Amino acid sequence: MGRYRARDLLLPPSVVSLCRVPMAFAFPWVASDPWLALGLLAAAGASDVLDGYLARRLGQATATGAVVDGVTDKLFMLSVVGTLLVTDKLPLWGVLLLGARDLGEAPLVVWWMLSPPQRKIRAEDPKANVPGKVATVLQFAAVVASILRSPSLVPLLACAGIVGLGAAVSYWRRELLRRRRR
């Protein structure tokens, strides 16, 4: 992975990631129609899977692409969650549960960013974090339930919050173990 380069923005995985930016701006406009909102949510999810697949398949996993993927994911979800909150489809406490993983990881990110360069450890081949993947699925299910105004929203939000906290703990554990081995 290595360095950040502007030219990496033109690689297919980054271009696919960047497609989520207009989707983020479009979501508030389609949110009143549940089927259009779900279609846009599915398209954003598919683009997230596709950009990772392309990066691995084409050997184009880059530091720039990883940042673009993360930023466009957060931008899209911020648009979705903000829209659902403003339209009263998602309660404020539900936003906290959906964001449990990210809130739990935030201090870890700050700690990493404030670490001296020689202490910054990046895995060369980071393994998937199973609790993180499960949390993502539960977040997605809760957002779908919110769009559809489903009675399953509350239990899905609770599960997403609990698993999200577990995922944050597992990220912390992995980082601390990595630092200890060093």
Distance CA 33, CA 15 (A): 27
pLDDT-derived band at 125 (thresholds 50, 70, 90) equals very low
For residue range 64-101, list pLDDT tens digits in order. Answer: 888 899 899 999 999 999 999 999 999 999 999 999 99
Q: Which residue, 71, 69, 72, 81, is CA-closest to 28?
A: 81
For residue range 59-68, list pLDDT tens digits in order. Answer: 999 988 888 9
Per-residue burial over 80-93, b = 16 or more CB atoms within 10 Å of its CB, e = otherwise:
bbebbeeeebbeee
Query: Average of pLDDT values for 113-132?
Result: 65
CB 140, CB 45: distance < 8 Å: yes
Pick 41 or 113 by higher pLDDT.
41
**Neighbour tally for 108: CB within 10 Å:** 15
